[in-house]
Structure 1
């Protein structure tokens, strides 16, 4: 009888060992040590949420609070002069994991400027942002989406436009912003919003909730490009305004 008890105990120990080993293997495959953008490739619906014309004091702060609560990273195309005035807000945007890009120094129509003035606007913007977050490549979103061949010829960074314009700056209600975005959005879209909009925070919050319900995942522009292999044509994102 004693021999049977010993054998039963040994079998139990072997069974426990196999179960533990299996759990470990499952855990290892389900939770890799380092997450990469590859985890998004199986998703059918990816979008980038972008904000222009900031940073803008309390409105940008409220927007950041909402994005942090919802666990979303966005891309902020900043006006250089405002970045100079609010370096702490620029730093917060950067430290909370959002992507930062340029929107010129004084929000001017670059297509109307000489090459010399274009360079001045962009370099001043780059310097203002770089003084806070350090040097690095910054994408450019030209104000009004306007550019000319001269700008495309010399510019040394990507220009990023958009494919869904919420027109939140016009005074639209949050409900209209959310509904119209949900009706037009598709995989790979870049959504245009603004820090300065009266309904920007509530509209963006609703867009996040509704699009998540529809199966979308929110990324920065850089992450979206990494996942979707979006090509630039003459340095400009093909995601142009409709």
Structure 2
């Protein structure tokens, strides 16, 4: 992606989200606390987006932009079979992983997979332009709407995992409901890629309850993937603020929580990746981080 393309992508990303708010983010507190903080759908809280998911592009005046709602080519149904990596157990790692080895110059940028496909495409392209590989934890309903993005993520050399089917407060659910959220998303991934994905991350919380941890293990995920750096990009503080937060807290082995669907994340990514390179840190998939 050239510098001209990058500027164009940023303009596209800004236009896509001008008229609405995405579904609530995974967490509203710093990852170091490990507190569950996402409200149930329809209930807003400080620092957490509210309102309906952004499903169409709109201008600042509220008018739908030309071409709004049309998914890019890669978000259509994939053609042909696709074989993806399966979950791995990492001996010596806890059931819930917050970071990788601190003595190696690697970090993992992990993305909540939901939102406008054009922003997802632009974020992936920007990461690849820098030689970075990321981890995408996809929401099942998002995969239903944009099935081709599963292939796009894997074709880029990135990790693809499970972030529940509907992105509700999984720790607050009954056992049957929580199991369904995990296994239905796993089934979507399996149908699209041949694998349930390499990782599971609970929705609306940084850490899974013991019940959800067990259910994830039963579904084939040896570890729950948490994080030690919360970018707070879902609060829409501006690209420079997102980049500053990440670069202030990140260190070797860190796992960073980021989101597709927010233009601030796209605006921040070049500065984040340049800052990592300046420190000698490389953004890799979570699987590579722990291998």
Task: Note the C-alpha offset of 1:130.
Answer: 1.6
Name whichever structure is richer in helix by fraction: 1
Q: Which residue of 1 aligns with 2:244?
A: 179
- Offset, 1:113: 0.8
* Worse overlay, 126-135 or 96-105: 126-135
Count of matched residue pairs: 186
Mapped partners of 2:225, 2:256: distance in 1: 11
Contact 2:162-2:196 at 8 Å conserved across structures: no
Tell me the alpha carbon deviations over residues 139-175 of structure 1, each in whole angstroms, 9 at most, x when there is no partner.
1111122432222233321210111111011011111
Corresponding residue of 2:214: 153
CA deviations over 1:87-131 (Å, ceiling 9, x no partner): 111111111111001110000111111111111111110111221
Question: Are 2:160 and 2:197, in contact at CA under 8 Å, matched by a contact in 1?
Answer: no
Going from structure 1 to structure 2, the CA distance change for 1:137 and 1:102 (only over 3 Å counts) comes to closer
Look up the match of 2:140.
80
Query: Could you say what secondary structure the match of 2:184 adopts?
Result: helix
2:287 to 216, 222, 232: 222
Relative distance call for 1:94 and 1:64 in structure 2 (3 A) is same
State the 4+ residue runs in structure 1 displaced beyond 6 angstroms.
none
Q: Does the Cα contact within 8 Å between 2:231 and 2:242 map onto a contact in 1?
A: yes
- Structure 1 residue runs without a partner (length 5+): 1-40, 227-242
The separation in 1 between residues aligned to 2:148 and 2:113, in whole angstroms, is 16
Two-structure CA RMSD over aligned residues (Å): 1.9
Alignment of 1:1-242 (within 5 A): 44-54=104-114, 56-143=116-203, 144-156=205-217, 157=221, 158-226=223-291
Query: CA, structure 1 residues 134+56, in 2 after alignment: closer, same or farther (shift >3 Å)?
Result: farther
How far is 1:138 from its partner? Answer: 3.1
- Scaled by the length of structure 1, the TM-score of the pair is 0.72
Q: Could you say which residue in structure 2 is the equivalent of 1:9?
A: none
Q: Which blocks of at least 5 consecutive residues in structure 2 are unaligned?
A: 1-100
Check whether the contact 1:75–1:101 (CA below 8 A) recurs between aligned residues: yes
Secondary structure, counterpart of 1:91 in structure 2: helix
